[in-house]
Structure 1
Amino acid sequence: MVGSSSSRGRGNLLARPEENCSQSSKENLFHVIHKVPCGDGPYVKAKHAQVVEKDAEAAIVWFWKAINAGDRVDSALKDMAVVMRQLDRSEEAIEAIKSFRCRCSKQAQDSLDNVLIDLYKKCGKVEEQIELLKRKLRLIYMGEAFNGRPTKTARSHGKKFQVSVQQETSRLLGNLGWAYMQKSNFIAAEVVYKKAQMIDPDANKACNVGLCLMKQTRYDEAHSVLQDVCQGRLPGSDDSRTQKRAIELISEIKSRQSPPQMMDLVGLNLDDEDFMKGLEQFMSTWAGSKSKRLPIFEEISSFRDQLAC
């Protein structure tokens, strides 16, 4: 009986490690599926509230606790700002980054800047956005971006990929061009977008160049740029939304271009060089005349034969 009891005890002891291993495997699988870190600290609890429970408010509370406790501060501050932005608390997120980024590592500063740029866009803080973009571009020109490396690892929708200095420069210039457009500074926006296109051309930026030119009433140039998109000459031209945008802008150009001159209505040829010279002479004569009683069509008719020759 004693031996039997002892065997049962040993059997239970032997079973426990297997149960523990099974439980550990389940927990690891849970973290892999939901893409949340392991542990029981405030940052882990924040990610669990954000990703698993979908409770953004609770996540922010735990992110604050993680920052104050020094638990993965780099990630906690960035993730909290992203959640705040989703809750339309962008102003609060901006202040949080400005106040606590000094607690973050040097490696985290670039990603915090990128979050700030998105927050400035959300809040309509164009001047702040321009200033930050210029600062980031200066760091690239000085060779201080990416910690001196030619590429960096970025993440989007849970996937990692490599970004080159050239790609990052073009992206920042594109954002700067868009910020200038928000200020209706279309000349500066055009210059910046064209610099971005020289580094890393794509169809979306080409559409923005076209829009800048349209705003300056340079319709022929705009049409030429947009035609490159419609004819698939640029990377990204096959994107249906970009194609649609280019076509819509070209249609807008056609609607905005000058209507037929009055001379067309009386059958004169605008392409005729002699006609254009005659028209200039006629307009200078009419502008210098003191008498302006005659309607414009009557004055045109009196010069019709002369101009047609």
Structure 2
Amino acid sequence: MASSSKRRGGAGGGGAEKKDLFHVVHKVPAGDSPYVRAKHLQLVDKDPETAIVWFWKAINSRDKVDSALKDMAVVMKQQDRAEEAIEAIRSFRHLCSRQAQESLDNLLIDLYKKCGKVDEQIDLLKQKLKMIYLGEAFNGKATKTARSHGKKFQVSIQQETSRILGNLGWAYMQQSNYSAAELVYRKAQSIEPDANRACNLGLCLIKQSRHDEARQVLHDVVLRRISGSEDDKVVARAKQLLHELEPVTHVTSPNNAGLSVSEEIMERLDLVLNEWTPFRSRRLPVFEEIATLRDQIAC
């Protein structure tokens, strides 16, 4: 009897282990709450539309609201419902914890990009830069733990600032505001050089007909002098941009165009250059140099 009971206990234990393994393999939480059901529908049943319904139920019942709102927005984005995802975040982020706000902002930036809402994207990127400058990012810490493809890694304030500036530069590029894009790209590169951003800076210079400067920037990528140039796709992009430059002759931009762009830069970077100057970051006073660049452009 004892051995029989032991075998049954062993079998039961094996069933529990299989159940635990199922949750690990499929990366779904255990239980039967609305959020758990939503994750099962999303990851196991591959039924995104029904998963969204259950994510809504989780939010309304206050079941893991932080995760439910973020996961639902991601699924909506995948289903080409980005506008709806934006509205959901705006309407319900007040239910989320303070710790979740930064990741919600990052998600909003991606959604704005997908929807072509460039002005909203720029405003939010500036707000994130302001938080860094005032020492309010990363909950007041110098680094944060991030996750990508299931792996955790540390991100510094410098890395985050450079990344945000790079995104801001690309947003300005979408507005054909190449002088503003150049300003923030150069600042990003001064903090943490990156080959992909160097390609974007090269393109930005090409758009301004400053071909010699563009060649110099792009050659650094081709010669793999910059972090990230080990990526063959990035190097191939730099070579393509250089190839497109070959038949181009030098063109001088009209002087009056430069003046109007300078005025636009001053207006768009007002938060960075004016409102923040009375403060000094406890960790990263990076914006004083941007003010110097502004003065040079305004001349």
3-state SS, counterpart of residue 154 of structure 1: strand
Whether 2:192 is the aligned partner of 1:200: answer yes
* Distance in 2 separating the partners of 1:228 and 1:12: 73
| Structure-2 residue corresponding to 1:227 | 219
Structure 1 length normalisation: TM-score? 0.79
SS in 2 for 1:235: coil
2: distance between equivalents of 1:165 and 1:18?
A: 51
Q: Which residue of 1 aligns with 2:132?
A: 140
Alignment of 1:29-108 (within 5 A): 29-108=21-100
Structure-2 residue corresponding to 1:156: 148
* Superposed CA offset, 1:221-268 (max 9, x none): 111111111111101112111111111111111222259xxxxxxxxx
Higher relative contact order (CA 8 A, sep 6+): 2
Partner residue in 1 for 2:239: 247
**Partner deviation per Cα, 1:11-32 (whole Å, 9 max, x = no partner):** 7665543333222111101111
Q: Which stretches in structure 1 are left out of the alignment for 5+ residues?
A: 1-6, 260-309
Alpha-carbon distance in 1 for matches of 2:81, 2:34: 21
- Aligned residue for 2:145, secondary structure, equals strand
Q: Deviations over 1:21-54 (max 9, x none)?
A: 2221111011111111111111111111111111
Distance 1:16 1:214 in 2: 74
C-alpha separation in 1, matches of 2:34 and 2:80: 23
Counterpart of 1:283 in structure 2 is none
Q: For residue 71 of structure 1, give the secondary structure of its aligned residue in structure 2.
A: coil
Structure 2 Cα separation of the partners of residues 16 and 61 of structure 1: 40
Identical-residue share of aligned pairs (%):
66
Q: Which amino acid aligns with 2:58?
A: A
In structure 2, distance between residues paired with 1:25 and 1:38? 13
How many Å separate the matches in 2 of 1:33 and 1:238?
A: 33
Q: What is the TM-score when the length of structure 2 is the normalising length?
A: 0.81
Match of 1:266 in 2: none
SS in 2 for 1:153: strand
Q: Is this contact kept in 1: 2:211–2:250, CA < 8 A?
A: no
Q: Residue 167 in 1 paired to residue 167 in 2?
A: no
The aligned residue for residue 238 of structure 1 is: 230
Please give the secondary structure, in 2, of the residue aligned with 1:255: coil
Once residues 183 and 64 of structure 1 are traced to their aligned partners in structure 2, the CA distance between those partners, rounded to angstroms, is 35
Amino acid at match of 1:63: F
Alignment map for 1:267-286 (pairs within 5 Å)? none
> How far, CA to CA, are the matches of 2:235 and 2:188 in structure 1?
20
Shift of 1:89: 0.1
Number of residue equivalences: 251
- Structure 1 window deviating more from structure 2 (95-104 vs 31-40): it is 31-40
RMSD: 1.5
Structure 1 CA distance for aligned equivalents of residues 167 and 137 of structure 2: 17
Mark the CA change 1:237 to 1:81 in structure 2 (over 3 Å): closer, same or farther: same
Q: Which has the larger radius of gyration?
A: 1
SS at match of 2:51: helix
Which portions of structure 1, spanning 4 or more consecutive aligned residues, are displaced by more than 4 angstroms?
10-16
- The CA distance in 2 between the partners of 1:173 and 1:142, in whole Å, is 16
Deviations 1:154-197 (A, max 9, x none): 11122221111111100000000000000000000000000000
**CA distance in structure 1 between the aligned counterparts of 2:113 and 2:72, rounded to whole angstroms:** 17
> Judging changes above 3 Å, is the alpha-carbon distance between structure 1 residues 187 and 67 closer, same or farther for their aligned structure 2 residues?
same
Q: Does 1:27 align with 2:24?
A: no
Aligned counterparts of 2:6 and 2:243: Cα–Cα separation in 1: 78
The alignment status of 1:181 with 2:170, answered yes or no, reads: no
